[in-house]
Structure 1
Amino acid sequence: MKKQSDTTRKGSTPIKVWCLPAEKSAIEANARKAGMSTSMYLRNVGIGYQIKGTIDQDLVLMLAKINGDQGRLGGLLKLWLTNSEKLGPHDPGHMRRVIHGVLERIVKMQIAMIDLVEKR
């Protein structure tokens, strides 16, 4: 006689769910967002588990790119501010405008990061 722990789901009877193609696509998309197979997603929803999605990978990638850009701009700004001999014979007024432009770009990127997080 088999124990309960020896029984696998693959040996069990499946449940068929009739749905429209759009419904099937929505279910599959929700399962992907939750990081589950469609079967696992439907089983968990059917027995009343709260579905908790995984972190949105696209958002993480976008934020990583923005963060990398900010790091590069910050490094450039640090170079300009700490190593004035590398600036050469540039006009101080021009360099001040360039540095202010870099600071404005950093602020814009921070705002873009906040906007991305708030939209999700």
Structure 2
Amino acid sequence: MSETLPTRKDCSPLKVYCRPDERERIEANARDAGMSVARFLREVGQGYRVRGIVDFEQVRELARINGDLGRLGGLLKLWLTDDVRTARFGEATVRALLERIETTQDQMAGVMRAIVRPKAED
């Protein structure tokens, strides 16, 4: 016969006294991790590493940048195949395209760094 564990509501709570600034920080960290304050404190208190959720706007920005890279790569591929539509593309145009690809990659790397940087470094 297996024992059933009591629900958390059936157990006594832990009380944590903190200053208002500490409370705000804890609440902000829980919000950034996509958790309730209770779950956040329970997981941190048990030694679990809390993983934050990725900001939706940053993911959308990465998707936009990735689309730009795809379009730029398509133009470069078209030029490399000696397509008639790219006959007017000179070396300067191709160099500009390559620079734009590099700039876009740098932009994407910046967004990725912002996503993975720990909150303490903000």
Return the TM-score normalized by structure 1: 0.70
In the alignment, structure 1 residue 109 sits paired with structure 2 residue 104: yes
Structure showing greater relative contact order (alpha-carbon pairs closer than 8 Å, 6 or more residues apart) = 2
Gaps of 5+ in 1: none
Per the alignment, residue 85 of structure 1 pairs with 84
Residue in 2 that maps onto 1:51: 49
Structure-1 residue corresponding to 2:95: 100
Task: Please list the CA deviations of residues 43-76 of structure 1 after superposition, one character each: whole Å capped at 9, or x if unmatched.
Answer: 12233x1323135335444333222211111112
Q: Tell me what 2:64 maps to.
A: 65
**Higher gyration radius (CA):** 1
Q: Say if 1:34 and 1:51, in contact at 8 Å, map to a contact too.
A: no
Q: Between Structure 1 and Structure 2, how many residues are aligned? A: 112
Alpha-carbon RMSD across the aligned residues, in angstroms, is 2.6
**Bigger mean CA deviation after superposition, 9-18 or 25-34:** 9-18
